[in-house]
Amino acid sequence: MGRVIGGPESEAAIAFPLCTSVDPVVQAFDSSPQGPQRYTGEPNPGTALTGSCFDQHNPRVTEPTLTQQQLRTPVLRRSFRKPYPVAVRGEGVYVWDGDGKRYLDFSGSAAVNFIGHGVREIADAMAEQARQLEFVHTSQFTTPVAEEFAQELLDFAGEHFRGGAVYFTCGGSESVETALKLARQYQVEIGQKNRHQILSRQQSYHGATLGALAVSGNKKRREIYLPMVREFEHVGIPYCYRCAFCRTGDCTDSCYNCGQQYAAELERAIRAANGEAAGFIFEPMSGATLGAVTPPPGYLQAIAEICRRHGVLLIADEVMTGMGRTGRNFAVEHFAVEHGGIAPDILITAKGLSSGYAPLGAVIASKRVVDGIAACSGAFLHGFTYNAHPVSLAAGRAVLRRVRSLNLVRAADSEVTGTAGAALKIALESLRDLEAVGDVRGLGLLWGVEFVADKKTKAPFAPEKNFAGLVGQACLRRGLLVYPMQGCVDGVAGDHLLIAPPAVITAEQVGWAVEQIHGAVKEST
Ligand SMILES: Cc1ncc(COP(=O)(O)O)c(C=O)c1O
Question: pLDDT tens digits, residue range 132-160?
Answer: 999 999 999 999 999 999 999 999 999 99
Q: Which stretches within 276-412 are classed as H helix?
A: 299-310, 367-374, 390-405, 408-412
**Measured from the CA of 361, which atom of ligand 1 is nearest?**
10
Pocket around ligand 1 at a 6 A CB cut-off: 110, 171-173, 176, 205-208, 283, 287-288, 317, 319-320, 350
CA of 93 to the centre of ligand 1 (A): 22
Give the residue from 448, 511, 525, 437 showing the smallest Cα distance to 485: 448
Higher pLDDT, 24 or 211: 211
**Measured from the CA of 171, which atom of ligand 1 is nearest?**
10
Mean pLDDT of 490-506: 97
Please write the tens of the pLDDT for every residue from 216-273.
998 888 999 999 999 899 999 999 999 888 876 667 788 899 999 999 999 999 999 9
Give the mutation target among 173, 209, 216, 325 for probing the ligand 1 site: most ligand atoms within 8 A of CB.
173
Residue type, 446: L
Give the mutation target among 78, 107, 203, 206 for probing the ligand 1 site: most ligand atoms within 8 A of CB.
206
Give the residue from 146, 206, 160 showing the smallest Cα distance to 396: 146
pLDDT tier at 336, thresholds 50, 70, 90: confident
pLDDT tier at 42, thresholds 50, 70, 90: very low
- CB of 362 closer than 8 Å to CB of 352: no
- Checking if the pLDDT of 478 tops 70, the result is yes
Alpha carbon distance 442, 428 (integer Å): 10
pLDDT for the residue numbered 39? 28
Mean pLDDT of 397-414: 98
pLDDT for the residue numbered 341? 74
- Checking if the pLDDT of 119 tops 90, the result is yes
Give the mutation target among 315, 320, 357 for probing the ligand 1 site: most ligand atoms within 8 A of CB.
320
Angle, vertex CA 193, rays to CA 187 and CA 198, nearest 5: 60
Please enumerate in sequence order all residues whose Cβ is within 8 A of that of 312, keeping only pairs 6 or more positions apart, or say none: 195, 199, 270, 277, 278, 279, 280, 306
- CB of 239 closer than 8 Å to CB of 255: no
Going by CA atoms, what residue is nearest to atom 5 of ligand 1? Answer: 207
Give the residue from 71, 62, 74 showing the smallest Cα distance to 26: 71
Instruction: Return the SS3 of 159.
Output: helix
CA of 284 to the centre of ligand 1 (A): 13
CA of 295 to the centre of ligand 1 (A): 19
CA of 306 to the centre of ligand 1 (A): 25
Beta-bridge mates of residue 198: 279
How much of the chain, in percent, has pLDDT values that exceed 70? Answer: 86
pLDDT for the residue numbered 253? 84
State the distance between the two ends of the chain, measured CA to CA, in whole angstroms: 30
**Measured from the CA of 351, which atom of ligand 1 is nearest?**
10
pLDDT for the residue numbered 242? 93
CA of 176 to the centre of ligand 1 (A): 8
The mean of the pLDDT values for the chain is 88
Please write the tens of the pLDDT for every residue from 426-475.
999 999 999 999 999 999 999 999 999 999 999 999 999 999 999 999 99
pLDDT tier at 56, thresholds 50, 70, 90: low
CA dihedral sign of residues 491, 493, 495, 496: negative
Higher pLDDT, 459 or 55: 459
Going by CA atoms, what residue is nearest to atom 10 of ligand 1? Answer: 172
pLDDT for the residue numbered 62? 60
pLDDT tier at 33, thresholds 50, 70, 90: very low
83 HSE (CA, 13 A, CB side): 7
Mean pLDDT of 77-105: 95
Going by CA atoms, what residue is nearest to atom 8 of ligand 1? Answer: 172
Using alpha carbons only, how large is the chain's radius of gyration in Å?
A: 23
CA of 289 to the centre of ligand 1 (A): 11
pLDDT for the residue numbered 8? 26
Give the residue from 183, 105, 175 showing the smallest Cα distance to 322: 175
Residue type, 62: T
- Checking if the pLDDT of 109 tops 60, the result is yes
Give the mutation target among 22, 25, 178, 205 for probing the ligand 1 site: most ligand atoms within 8 A of CB.
205
CA dihedral sign of residues 21, 235, 497, 403: negative
CA of 112 to the centre of ligand 1 (A): 10
- Checking if the pLDDT of 52 tops 90, the result is no
How much of the chain, in percent, has pLDDT values that exceed 90? Answer: 80
CA of 207 to the centre of ligand 1 (A): 5
- CB of 312 closer than 8 Å to CB of 304: no
**Measured from the CA of 176, which atom of ligand 1 is nearest?**
4
- Checking if the pLDDT of 59 tops 90, the result is no
CA of 428 to the centre of ligand 1 (A): 24
- The region, left, alpha or beta by phi > 0 then psi within -120 to 50, assigned to residue 493 is beta
- CB of 444 closer than 8 Å to CB of 421: yes
Instruction: Return the SS3 of 65.
Output: coil
pLDDT for the residue numbered 63? 66
Q: What are phi and psi of 180, to 5 degrees?
A: -65, -40
pLDDT for the residue numbered 246? 84
Give the residue from 114, 76, 120, 474 showing the smallest Cα distance to 327: 114
Residue type, 291: G
Instruction: Return the SS3 of 483.
Output: strand
- Checking if the pLDDT of 16 tops 70, the result is no
Mean pLDDT of 156-167: 97
Give the residue from 36, 35, 37 showing the smallest Cα distance to 45: 37
From residue 58, give the alpha-carbon distance in Å to each of 7, 17, 47, 61, 350.
Answer: 10, 18, 16, 9, 43
Q: Which stretches within 365-506 are classed as H helix?
A: 367-374, 390-405, 408-412, 420-429, 467-477
Give the residue from 266, 268, 245, 267 showing the smallest Cα distance to 255: 245
Going by CA atoms, what residue is nearest to atom 6 of ligand 1? Answer: 207
- CB of 394 closer than 8 Å to CB of 357: no
